[in-house]
Amino acid sequence: MESFFVRFRNALVLVAVLLAQTILLAVQVRDLRGPSQADGRKVTLLRSWAAGAVAPFERVTALFGRGVRGNWNNYIDLRRTRQQNAELQKEVARLRLEQAEFAEDALQGRRLQALLAFREHYVNATVAAQVIGTSGVDSSKVLLIDKGADFGLKPDMAVITPDGIVGKLRDVFPHTAQVLEIDDPSSGAGVILASTRIRAIVRGGPDGRVQIGNLTADSRIKPGEEVLTSGGDQVFPRGLKVGTIESIAPDRDRQLYTLIRVHPAVNLSQLEEVLVITGTQAELPAAAQQDLAAGDAAAQQIKADAQKAEAQRAADLAAERLPSLTPPPNADGTPAATDDGASGGDPLHPPTASVKPVPALHPDRYSPGATPPAASLTPGGNNPNPAAAPASQQSAESPTSGDGEGSGESAAPRPKKAVTAEPTAGAAKKPATADAAAAAAKKPKTAPSAAVPAAKEPQR
Amino acid sequence: MANRSYTSRRELDEHTFHPAVAVLVPVGFIILQALLPRPFPKLAILDLPLIATIFFAVGRRSPIAGTLTGAAIGLLQDALTNQYIGINGITKALIGYTAASIGFKVDVESITTRILMIFAFCLAQSGLLYLIQGNLLGQNIQMLWLHELLRAVVNTLIAVPIFYLLDRTKSDV
């Protein structure tokens, strides 16, 4: 008997080791929790020991890495900072506009939710944590963070970044915790497609990519559609960004279903810091409420500005189309005063344009006003060349020739004259001008400017 | 008592390691394996604990030592993942036993043998993991064989220089 154990001791040791580990596996499988759930107490103890042994090294390494990166980023690699700053300021301005646009929708949504007694969950408490390590196995998408039960973390708490969701806490140790990423094959999250409002489950594929595999073919689902958390899994609050649909293909293993690849909103392979959601509330947090109020105020301001701009644009258009519009005459028949200050605020009565002829440096027969009036010309006669004539003679002739267009113009500068008040304007324009003036006289002077935006308001 | 010839192959090739080396190298490899994929995600394809298991098993030429070393390394590796504890333990225990047993038969100091051996053990580990997870645990595992082949190649390329470095820590019996 002794010789048997001596002879086969190698194999016996192997069998014993394998048997012990198989029993260990059987104990874990019996729990039926699955790899996505936290372990039982005894297994957690083993993991806790392992994490406790490895975590100090990982903390030191992470600290060192952060120091090196911080020195590089904050002191050395500042070449594009100014440009980035300008770009970010532009983005902030753009986002403010977006925020203002969304604020109104958000307020409306909240009012509707209140009407329907729908209880929303808003994130109100988070714990920031540093990622200090990974599982080291590419089939297991697990991160180790530097916060644990001492910061109030518990299993199944959602882990996010400002860009989107990361995963959930699996095992929580006293000073560290394991995060199960959404691209792990054993993970899962309830999601909703943003535009089609189709609910689904997102999980990690065998190739380590995030995918949706429980939907049948639907022509409404298109690549590029945003995927948000639905809140149905009781882990992630509703409305957090998961990613965007990357591709849609038939599932080769299950004929009826489609395999939808989702590009995660978060770069899961290079995470530095994460936020663990430790609390939610039904009311919007105070800071968010302030932002919403600011956004709403900005939206109102933008709307008022838009209305003003629209009114101004309508006035400009009216001014362009009715260039000879004159102010309505007074009751006694005298022409209305063309005071700029009086008509400045009336879009339908813009200040009239005035002609300011540019004097010719070297007047010739083609210069404005150089042609003598037709009445003074004698057919077959010796018509003098006005360009050659002395300026005094031309100026003396011009008042006598006031019928023709452009008559009376001289090379010398003339006083400023309003086109609309020009008595020598073309005869064809006179009726139109008179009609417009008569139509304008029938209306109150301020009515048109108020009527233009008011008429467009219902269309918005 | 067995009367060994001093010039037997086993005694010539059998080595021991300083306890610090025997403990710190596997632990260091496991920590490195957990750290490297964070800044360099592609390095998750490496399996430094497997390289340590093969090296110590081959170096000691003792199947029992190889089994226990492999089991310990695998269990520690499992504890850092979300997988059931024991999957890598069983796999690496078998690899350690086999590697130590092979050490009796062939010259594992030759570079060609090392390359073939490491490549074969990497593939064997992938197959064992597939069997354990798919058949023993009933998990729905899809094996990407091309990826596993690539993993075997990469690990072989990394393991050869590591073996030469670790050879310096050997001491004869």
**Are A148 and A158 in a shared domain?**
yes
Phi then psi dihedrals of residue A245, to 5 deg: -70, 130
Q: Does B45 touch chain A (CB under 8 A)?
A: yes
The reported pLDDT for the residue numbered A292 is: 76
- A395 belongs to a structural domain: no
pLDDT grade for A422, boundaries at 50, 70 and 90: very low
Q: Are A60 and A152 members of one domain?
A: yes
pLDDT over 60 (residue A319): yes
The mean predicted confidence, pLDDT, of chain B is 86
What single letter denotes the amino acid at residue A326? T
Rounded to whole angstroms, the Cα distance separating A452 from A61 reads 68
Q: A248 with A129, same domain?
A: yes
Query: What does each C-alpha distance from A19 to A15, A24, B71, B93, B135 come to in angstroms?
Result: 6, 9, 12, 11, 16
Rounded to whole angstroms, the Cα distance separating A72 from A68 reads 6
pLDDT digits (tens, 9 = 90+) for B6-43: 455 555 567 788 888 889 999 999 988 988 888 888 88
CA atoms within 13 A on the CB side of A39: 26
- In the prediction, which pLDDT does B29 show? 92
Q: Report yes or no: A157 and A169 within 8 Å, Cβ to Cβ.
A: yes
Q: What type of residue sits at position A114?
A: A
pLDDT at A377 over 80: no
Residues A292 and A276 in one domain: no
- Which of A47-61, A265-279, A293-307, A315-329 is predicted with the least confidence, judged by mean pLDDT? A315-329
d(CA B162, CA B165): 5
Angle, CA of A209, B51 and B84, to the nearest 5°: 50
Write out the two tokens for A112. 């509707």
Q: What is the pLDDT of residue B34?
A: 87
More reliable by pLDDT, B10 or B161: B161
Please check whether residue A26 lies inside any domain of the structure: no
**Beta bridge pairs of residue A191:** A200, A229
Q: Are residues A72 and A206 in the same domain?
A: yes
Taking Cα atoms as reference points, which of B51, B119, B118, B66 lies closest to residue B96?
B66
**Within a domain: residue A304?**
yes
**Bigger pLDDT: A374 vs B25:** B25
In this prediction, residue A426 has a pLDDT band, given cuts at 50, 70 and 90, of very low
| Interfacial A residues in 186-245 facing B (CB < 8 Å) | 186, 206-207
Q: Is the Cβ–Cβ distance between A426 and A406 less than 8 Å?
A: no
Q: Which of A281-290, B44-53, B77-86 has the lowest mean pLDDT?
A: A281-290
In a domain, A340, yes or no: yes
In B, minimum Cα distance to A52 occurs at B80
**CATH number, domain containing residue A163:** 2.40.10.340
* pLDDT number for residue A121: 66
Residue A424 pLDDT level (bands cut at 50, 70, 90): very low
What are the residue boundaries of the structural domains of chain B, listed by start? 9-172
Burial of A92 (0-12, 13-18, 19+ CB in 10 A): exposed
Please tell me whether residues A194 and A124 are part of one structural domain. Answer: yes
Domain count, chain A: 3
Lowest mean pLDDT among A400-409, B27-36, B139-148: A400-409
Interface of A with B in 106-165 (CB under 8 A): 131, 133-140, 142, 144
* Distance of alpha carbon A206 from alpha carbon A183, whole angstroms: 9
Give the gap in angstroms from C-alpha B167 to the nearest C-alpha of chain A: 25
Other Cβ atoms closer than 10 A to A284: 16
Closest alpha carbon within chain A to B133: A25
Residue whose C-alpha is closest to residue B35's, from A144, A170, A147: A144
DSSP 8-state class, residue B58: H
* Mean of pLDDT values over B136-151: 85
A188/A335 same-domain check: no
| pLDDT at residue B68, rounded to an integer | 95
- For residue A397, being part of any structural domain is answered with no
- Report the residue of chain B nearest A14, measured CA to CA: B67
* Min Cα separation B121/chain A (Å): 17
Q: pLDDT digits over B94-137, tens only?
A: 999 999 998 777 877 888 999 999 999 999 999 999 999 888 88
* Dihedral angle of Cα A64, A65, A70, A73, to the nearest 10 degrees: 150
> From B76, which residue of chain A is nearest by alpha-carbon distance?
A50
Put simply, whether B38 touches A (Cβ < 8 Å) is yes
- Kindly tell me the number of DSSP H helices and DSSP E strands found in chain B: 7, 2
Q: A63 and A195, same structural domain? A: yes
Does A12 reach chain B within 8 Å, measured CB to CB?
Answer: no
Closest chain A residue to B29 measured between Cα atoms?
A136
Do A313 and A365 fall within a single domain? Answer: no
Q: Which residue has 């109104």 as its token pair?
A: A104
Residue A335 makes CB contacts below 8 A (sequence gap 6+) with: A326, A327, A329, A421
B173 near A CB under 8 A: no
Q: Are residue A221 and residue A292 in the same domain, yes or no?
A: no
pLDDT at B86 over 80: yes
Residues linked to residue A131 through DSSP beta bridges, in sequence order: A145
Q: How close is the nearest chain B Cα to the Cα of A275, in Å?
A: 17
Contact A157, A274 (CB under 8 A): no
State the average pLDDT over residues A301-305.
84
Q: Is residue A381 part of a domain?
A: no
Please write the tens of the pLDDT for every residue from A189-245.
999 998 888 899 998 887 788 999 888 888 888 888 899 998 888 888 888 899 999
Mean pLDDT is highest, among A142-151, A275-284, A359-368, B36-45, for A142-151
Q: H-type helices in A270-381, by residue range?
A: 286-321, 340-343
| A47/B79 CB distance under 8 A | yes
Is residue A196 one of the residues assigned to a domain?
Answer: yes
SS3 of residue B38 by DSSP: coil
The structure's pTM equals 0.62
Between CA A58 and CA B66 the distance in angstroms is: 27
DSSP labels for A144-199? EES--GGGT--TT-EEEETTEEEEEEEEE-SS-EEEEETTSTT--EEEEETTT--E
Which of the pair, A52 or B6, is modelled with greater confidence? A52
Helix (H) / strand (E) containing A278: strand A273-281
A11, A46, A136 member nearest B77 (Cβ): A136
B71 min Cα distance to partner chain A (Å): 7
A134 contacts B44? CB cut-off 8 A: yes
Cα separations in angstroms, B77 against A294, A339, A384, B27: 51, 89, 112, 9
Please state which CATH number belongs to domain B9-172.
1.10.1760
How many whole angstroms separate alpha carbon A200 and alpha carbon A210? 13
Asked if residue A367 belongs to a domain, the reply is yes
Q: Which domain holds residue A293?
A: 88-118+285-321
Whether pLDDT at A68 is above 70: yes
- Res. B91 pLDDT band, cuts 50 70 90: very high
Within this chain, do residues A250 and A303 fall inside the same structural domain, yes or no?
no
Q: In angstroms, what separates the C-alpha of A227 from chain B's closest C-alpha?
A: 25
Q: How far apart are CA A282 and CA A238, in angstroms?
A: 12
Q: Which residues of A212-242 are buried (b: 16+ CB within 10 A; e: fewer)?
A: bbbbeeeeebeeebebbbbbebebbbeebbb
